[in-house]
Amino acid sequence: MFLLQSLVVLLALGTVAPAELDWWQNAVFYQIYPRSFKDSDNDGTGDLRGVIQKLDHLVETGVTALWLSPIYPSPQVDFGYDISDFTGVDPLFGDMGDFMELTRKAKAKGLRIILDFVPNHSSDQHEWFKKSENSEPGYEDFYVWKDGEPGTPPNSWTSYFHGPAWTWSTKRNQWYFHQFASAQPDLNYRNPKVVQEMKKVLTYWLDLGVDGFRVDIITALFEDVNYPNGPLDQYAYTSDQPETYDMVYQWRILLDEYQKRNGGDTRVMMTESYADADKLFGYYGNSTHNGAHFSFNFWFITQLNRDSTAKDIKGVIDKWFRNMPEHYTANWVLGNHDQHRVATRYGPGRVDGLNMIAMLLPGVVVTYNGEEIGMENGEVSWEEGWDPQGCNGNKEDWYKNSRDFERTPYQWDGSANAGFNEGHKTWLPVSEQYKTLNLALQRTSTLKSHYRVYQELVKLRQTETLKLGKLRTIVLQNNVLVIIRELENEPAYVAVVNVGGSFASVDLSHIASKFVVQVPSVQSEKIPKSTIDGSAIYLVGFESVVLATVKE
């Protein structure tokens, strides 16, 4: 059998006892998109009380922390990412009492709370912007304003949501800059008062008991100070500027000093960046400054697809560890509210295998709500769509640009509206698949299910081997990826993932002569806790299995 290659990643190993991991370094962060998670009051939109109602589900699933997408007051032009008050709760989701109850009950159940922090911009309805647009003293430079003539923007930059990145203010007779919708003006971080106010926002939520922040679109925080006309790739001027890294380092200092003053566990910061490796790892820090505890690794999203081979997947894993300095913590993100569902992007048959890969790799796992049951993209028509990224474009590019498909309501059960609410029209349509693809079915079924596989994988992550063991990755027969985790005096765990749709047979006797089946995928006929021969492991198309070595 042809062995393409293997890589040993030097993590804590051998006779030297590894250092204890901090709480977040092996965590499973579960992203909740509140609008679509659970509607407690039957108004068609999910809310905080809905999250409270489902805390036991999160405990049962085994996740470490829940990360809430924006819950702040907002005109909802961009579904809460246009914030009109950074220190409140939008009535759409409840009130501050609901948030405090959620925090208290989540912590009582051993769950951590992570909030979305959206520092790049506010809503144009925020008091700061209103004052800035009126040139009120102290607020003149809270946002990025430039002189010019009506109809002629200061430069050629375009927004992520199509059209110019500049909007003319008739009140101020100047242009203001916005990397997203015109209702989302960019804050000016070259103004120390803005920096101070946003640090106050972080402290406010820390005082209310949050355990950390996911920092939205960190790359966009600063622009080239000269605002030149851009080449075809303007992002050289509008992304990952040197000052952005310094701002992240300042926020890390704030979090670390807060912990020193107030005690408790580490308050974690994770940053959203789709940058290349050389820029991405700058958000982790440098030789003199700590930055984010981790910056999202989106490479499974951006560099892989349903045609990717085992060799391609191994290449992405190897590339991450080649680039990541040894003292940093890796992380693995398969999906989020901005990307089509995992089952849609890679095919439903690969759901368990991808979860096995992510869960067996060292570091943090981030899961978007619904991926644990293998939800697929919902069916949303052009007329039913809300997302400005899709709606501001043309109908022909709707499917490619809109993010509505991955934001349809969570499929809890087979009742009306998939149990999301009691039957009231939902803000986005419930997927037509909900009667056969829902949590209740996967929880109660005697058959294998994506949810049961996910649960068992989360449990395995609590073993010493998966917390602290070394990593090897092997490709066999082009379509079989083998993930091996080993720690002295502990069982080794091996994920064998058939990425292809055809039968495969692999020989793993060079690892162990016998294995005990731990977690088989939904396609597998292998029985948990049964012993199999390591020299002849048979896999049907897309079958995956996690095995443990047997003590000889």
272 is catalytic: yes
Q: How confident is the model at residue 400 (pLDDT cuts 50, 70, 90)?
A: low
**Per-residue pLDDT at 218:** 97
User: HSE of 389 in the Cβ direction (CA atoms, 13 Å)?
Assistant: 16
Q: Catalytic pick from 90, 98, 186, 272?
A: 272
Helices marked H in 225-366 = 235-238, 242-262, 277-280, 299-302, 310-323, 342-346, 351-360
Average pLDDT of the chain is 93
Mean pLDDT confidence for 44-48: 98
Q: CATH classification of 470-549 is 3.30.360.10, yes or no?
A: no
Q: What tens digit of pLDDT does each residue of 129-183 get?
A: 999 999 999 999 999 999 999 999 999 999 988 889 999 999 999 999 999 999 9
**Per-residue pLDDT at 13:** 30
Q: What tens digit of pLDDT does each residue of 78-89 get?
A: 989 999 999 999
17 has pLDDT over 70: no
Looking at domain 127-177, which CATH architecture does it have?
Alpha-Beta Complex (3.90)
216 is catalytic: yes
12 has pLDDT over 70: no
User: One fold for both 28-120+191-450 and 127-177?
Assistant: no
379 has pLDDT over 80: no
Q: How confident is the model at residue 404 (pLDDT cuts 50, 70, 90)?
A: confident
Helix (H) or strand (E) holding 470: strand 470-476
Enter the tokens of residue 396. 């022909």
Mean pLDDT confidence for 455-482: 97
46 has pLDDT over 60: yes
Q: What tens digit of pLDDT does each residue of 89-141 get?
A: 999 999 999 999 999 999 999 999 999 999 999 999 999 999 999 999 999 99
Enter the tokens of residue 249. 């380092």
**Per-residue pLDDT at 550:** 87
The distance between the two most distant Cα atoms of the chain, rounded to a whole number of Å, is 80
**Per-residue pLDDT at 552:** 66
11 has pLDDT over 60: no
Phi-psi domain of 29 (left: phi exceeds 0; alpha: psi -120 through 50; beta: other)? beta
**Per-residue pLDDT at 128:** 99
Q: Catalytic pick from 41, 216, 318, 490?
A: 216
What are the extents of the domains in the chain? 28-120+191-450, 127-177, 470-549
User: HSE of 350 in the Cβ direction (CA atoms, 13 Å)?
Assistant: 28
What is the Cα–Cα distance from 373 to 16, expressed in whole angstroms? 39
**Per-residue pLDDT at 273:** 95
Q: What tens digit of pLDDT does each residue of 266-308 get?
A: 999 999 999 999 999 999 999 999 999 999 999 999 999 999 9
**Per-residue pLDDT at 4:** 38
Mean pLDDT confidence for 500-526: 97
What is the Cα–Cα distance from 422 to 40, expressed in whole angstroms? 9
6 has pLDDT over 50: no
3 has pLDDT over 50: no
Q: What tens digit of pLDDT does each residue of 419-435 get?
A: 999 989 998 999 999 99
| Contact (Cβ atoms closer than 8 angstroms) between residue 403 and residue 337 | yes
Q: What tens digit of pLDDT does each residue of 251-265 get?
A: 999 999 999 999 999
Secondary structure of 86-118 in the HEC alphabet? CCCCCCCCCCHHHHHHHHHHHHHCCCEEEEEEC
Looking at domain 28-120+191-450, which CATH architecture does it have?
Alpha-Beta Barrel (3.20)
**Per-residue pLDDT at 183:** 98
